[in-house]
Chains A and B, each alone.
Chain A
Amino acid sequence: MSSTASTNGEQVTIDSRIIAHRGASHYAPENTLAAFELAVDMGATKIELDVDVTRDGQLIVMHDSRVDRTTNGMGRVRDYTLAELRELTADRGWEGQFARSEIRVPTLAEVLEFAGARDLWVNIETKDFTNSWGTVNDLVAAEVAACDRVDSTLISSINHRAVAGFARSYPQFSTAIAFIETFADLPGYARRCGANVLHPHFSLINEQFVAEAREHGLGINAWTIDDDAAADHILEFDIDGLMSNRPDVGTALNRTNQHPSHRSSHVTEAHA
C-alpha cells in the first residue's frame, strides 16, 4: 500500500491510499498542472480536482466559482471565455519557484491527458450547489469517455441530486456522494443517489461507519486531513482513500510495517 518516489534526490514513501486533493496543493498552487506534477513526483497515484465551465462551454479545473482567490483576475468563471481565462496566472499567493507567469488554469482535457500518461486515478468533484449540472454532466462524461478514462475516474459532489442525475444518465461511471452529516440508513440513501462510493468528512469515520459501508459494498474516501497524527488514525481504518493537500501526510513507513493487511487496491478496482 506504500509507493516510493524520488523528490529532490530524497527517497520518500507515501501511503498509496492518499488522494492528492487539488494536487499537492499544500506545496504548489492548487488545481494546476504544477500541483498535479508535484503530487506524482511525491509518489501519489490518485488525484482530486474540481471542474467548472467557461462562458464558451469549455471545462476547466478550478475550485471556486470565482477566479479571485487563485488567480490575478476577478469575477465568475462562467463570465470568462477559455481564451480570456488562459491569460490569467494561477499562482496567486505563491512565492519562489511557483511564482511563475506560465502557471495557468488548466483545462480538464489537459489534466486528463497528464493523468492518462501516468496511469493516475482521478476524482472529479463538481462543486456548484444550485446548478443541476445538466450541461456539465454531459461535458464531463463526454470528455472522460473520449480519453478512454472511465474506469479510472470517480465523479463526486456534495450536490447529491446532481450525483443521482449523473448516475442515471451515465451508469458506466463510478459516482460518490460527499457529506458531513450523519445520515440514517446511509447505504439506502447512497443507493437512491446512485452512488457506489462514500466521501465522508473524516470526523464521521469509526468502526461502525466502515463496517456498514463495507457490508453494502460501498467504497470509502475520507476528506481532508493534512495533520500527520490525524491521518495516521484515519488510515488505521479499512478505507480506500484519504484526501490530503499533502501527499506525504502521515508516517506511512511505520504504518506499512505494522499493518500489512491494509494492502489493498484502489476503489475503482475494489468497488466498481
Chain B
Amino acid sequence: MSLALSVAAFGGLGAVLRYVMDNLITRVAGSNFPLGTWTINILGSIAIGVLTGWLVVAHPNHHAYALWGTGLLGGFTTASTFGVEVASLATGGRMAAACLSALSCMALALGGGALGFWVAGG
C-alpha cells in the first residue's frame, strides 16, 4: 500500500517536472510546433532505457523500478497531450508536420532508450 502511495507521489513530481520543462521549452521555441512534449517524451524514454537495463536486467529491483520508472518517468512522459498535439496538427491541415512529429519522437525515443539500455548493462 505504501509503495502505491510512493509511486503516486513520484508520478506527481514527474508531472510537475513536465509542467516546468514544457513551459521553459515553449517559452524559448514558441508554440508553432509542439516541441515541449516531444522533447520530454524522448528524454523520459532514454531514462527508461537506462532504468530497464539497470533495474530489470543487470540488478533486478522491482521496488526501485516501480518508483522511478512507473512513477517518476510515467508521470513525466505523456501520451495524452502528445496525441492531442499530433491530432491537432493533422486536423489543422498540417499532416506532414503531424507525421514528422509522431515518427521522429518514436524513432529518437526508441534509439535513445535502446542506447541507454545498452549503456546500463542490459
Pair from one complex: no
